[in-house]
Structure 1
């Protein structure tokens, strides 16, 4: 596992600018909202999913998005999805729930998890993601997150993520 030290080394080696913020541990989007107010840029949440064919997916979306899980498979090109188990996340990405981030793909075997980035985030000037732990936030350009994923041997999918409309 290369972990956070490997991540910081790759950011330096690829000359990718970022802004780091340390904060109290956050486990939910609700908890992170209190911290996000002080950090500029697009805030994210991540879904670790498994499709009915057994493939794993890491989907990064805007923090406020309510993803339509029924429509998602068609948008990203997979079968019906459900949430992956924490032990599968730990085995494949080396992280625990609450710390999920596309940057965890540094420790994922290429091809083991498909990574999907919301189209708007991919174009964001600044996308805020965890640095493999939920006590920090890194602000990185969406294009640079994609560059890191490709550097690590992954083929990120950029997709328009379907959102569920509020009830009522």
Structure 2
């Protein structure tokens, strides 16, 4: 199946979720350019391989984590081929007992469902509950790809726009971490 790359938002809103459309509205309002491919639901990094090939950029893992009290959240962006080790990240942050947040928390805080968590969900974090963590290896890429809060499309955005214009407009900042994927 060949995926077709489009510039900007879809011409038709039919079949698009409100959360997905909100991402397009937000990026357009901020003047952030993006390319898009529509595709069947992508639940795994393996599902994203043809998307990466079509867009010519990396799709990264978006992991939504929480502290033991479920009072603070972390959105970790990391290369899709790097293993995630909770202990390694916890040590770097000085936070004990990190775990994956519940699906209901992801929906409430980021406006995303499992399989569609995304940096673009930060537009829904009005209470500033999420700290963005970015693996330093992603900073080497000219472009990065992420779902627009729905895993039926993927957007390709300049890394400088994502961590510049986009983060500034959402009033978030990034904390860089260096993950090795080892114990």
Q: TM-score, normalised by structure 1?
A: 0.87
Among 95, 99, 108, the residue aligned to 1:82: 99
Residues in 1 aligned to 2:143 and 2:167: alpha-carbon distance in whole angstroms: 16
Task: Quote the residue 1:20 is aligned against.
Answer: 36
Show the 5 A alignment for 1:5-154: 5-54=21-70, 55-147=72-164, 148-154=166-172
Q: Which runs of 5+ in 2 are unaligned?
A: 1-17
Instruction: Tell me whether 1:162 sits opposite 2:180 in the alignment.
Output: yes
- Find the structure with the greater CA-based Rg: 2
Q: Which runs of 5+ in 1 are unaligned?
A: none
Residues in 2 aligned to 1:40 and 1:133: alpha-carbon distance in whole angstroms: 20
RMSD after superposition? 1.9
Residues in 2 aligned to 1:35 and 1:7: alpha-carbon distance in whole angstroms: 19
Shift of 1:53: 4.8
Query: How many residues are paired up?
Result: 164
Q: TM-score, normalised by structure 2?
A: 0.80
